[in-house]
Amino acid sequence: MRTVCLVLIFAVGCKKPPPAPKGLDDSANYMMKHFYGSDEIFGAGITGFLDWYEDEGEALVGESANLDTVNSYTVGDLARDSVAHLPIEEDILVDPKNDLYEPRDITRAKGVVSLALMDCTWTRAEGYLARPDQDVVFSEDFEGYERDYLSSRSDFEEGSKEGDYDPVRQDLFPFDDDFDGSSYAKTLLLTENVVDPTAVLGANMERFDMNLDLRHGEFEMDGETVGVSAILTYNIEAAWGSAGSNALLQSFSIELNVQRPKKKTLRMLTVWAEPKGGGIDPDSAIALNFAVNKALSSSERLSSICAGDIEIPKE
């Protein structure tokens, strides 16, 4: 296992970081839990992911799953305390026809990981991911998309453009009523989104609310400066189709886009979801296989956009 000294560029010296999580399952849970943590805590999570990548994950880069291999891409269940800080509903709608709610069971959202090496610099990839028209960037995933920025997009993009980030010296609580994100605008971008996804496994969903936040910085790894852009997403409540038979009851994801040599970016996308409908269980090989390959397809599209193989209009 590689030992990494990870420190934000604006910090002084190479301070010993907190212990990094071990393995994919712990690293994914850790990043969900500590996405808004101090720079040192956040950096330890990146270290955990990259250690797992070098030990095991590299073999999965750019590989699609099939029903025989999908177990190689599965991620352990989310722990309740990994999402306790998020403003999600405790009870979720499980039967809209009878207005029936049940307590949320986080463990029913099953997880997979997808890895791709994209022909993008990390800042260019982040630029596309920060755009409001994600239905243009990822046209195969969304029929419509709306995004509201709760903090300054221009300040955030200036951070990566200038290599100048706002330090996060203590844990942040962005969901508190009195939270002021202006002091962290060059590091953290908060958004609210309304998404209209394309049909998934034959199930057509209505538009639903989804929260998505971005965080970035430049870190020192083994004496080399490396840019990292991370994204956390979740839906606050269950999303149902108009017929009341198909739903996305729960969805969480953590994404890391890590600068690599030769102007490439390693994209590691971990998704937990609980779909309902079509007679397909969330932990079935069919559902998990679809989730892995859908994530890989989005990475391949983003890579093709950066490489000029796919053209999309400017904002």
pLDDT digits (tens, 9 = 90+) for 25-79: 999 999 999 999 999 999 999 999 999 999 999 999 999 999 999 999 999 999 9
Distances (CA, A) of 17 to 3, 13, 258, 278, 313: 11, 12, 19, 46, 42
Angle subtended by helix axes 39-55 and 23-33, to nearest 10: 160
Give the Cα separation of 107 and 104 in Å (integer).
9
Strands 208-221 and 110-118: unpaired
Q: What's the pTM?
A: 0.94
Helix (H) or strand (E) holding 24: helix 23-33
The stretch 13-19 carries a mean pLDDT of: 66
**pLDDT at 203 (0 to 100):** 65
**Which residues contact residue 231 at a Cβ distance below 8 angstroms, ignoring those fewer than 6 apart?**
129, 212, 213, 214, 215, 253, 254, 255, 257
Q: What is the percentage of the chain residues whose pLDDT exceeds 90?
A: 83
Higher local confidence (pLDDT), 194 or 246: 194
DSSP string spanning 183-220?
GGTTTEEEEEEEEEEPPBTTB----EEEEEEEEEEEEE
Which pLDDT score, from 0 to 100, does residue 243 have? Answer: 79
| pLDDT value at residue 4 | 45
Q: Lowest mean pLDDT: which of 6-20, 46-60, 136-150, 232-246? A: 6-20
The DSSP call for residue 65 is P
Q: Which runs of E-coded beta strand occur in the chain?
A: 74-75, 91-95, 100-103, 110-118, 142-149, 188-197, 208-221, 224-234, 239-240, 247-260, 264-276
pLDDT band at 202 (very low <50, low <70, confident <90, very high): low
In this predicted structure, the answer to whether residue 5 has a pLDDT above a threshold of 90 is: no
- Give me the pLDDT at residue 246, please: 87
What pLDDT is attached to residue 216?
98
Q: What is the pLDDT of residue 11?
A: 45
> HEC profile for 107-139?
HHCEEEEEEEEECCCHHHHHHHHCCCCHHHHCC
- Token representation of residue 113: 């990981």
**176-190 residue pLDDT tens:** 999 999 999 999 999
Would you say residue 239 has pLDDT above 60?
A: yes
All structural domains of the chain: 61-307 (3.30.530.20)
Q: Per-residue b/e over 253-292, b at no fewer than 16 CB within 10 Å?
A: bbbbbbbbeeebbbbbbbbbbbbbbeebebeebebbbbbb
Q: Could you tell me if 35 and 41 are in contact, meaning their C-beta atoms sit under 8 angstroms apart?
A: no
- What's the CA dihedral at 73, 260, 229, 16 to 10 degrees? 90
Helix axes 285-307, 122-129, angle to 10 degrees: 110
For the chain, helix (H) and strand (E) counts, in that order, are 6, 11
pLDDT of residue 204: 75
Q: What is the mean pLDDT of residues 278-293?
A: 89
| pLDDT for the residue numbered 79 | 97
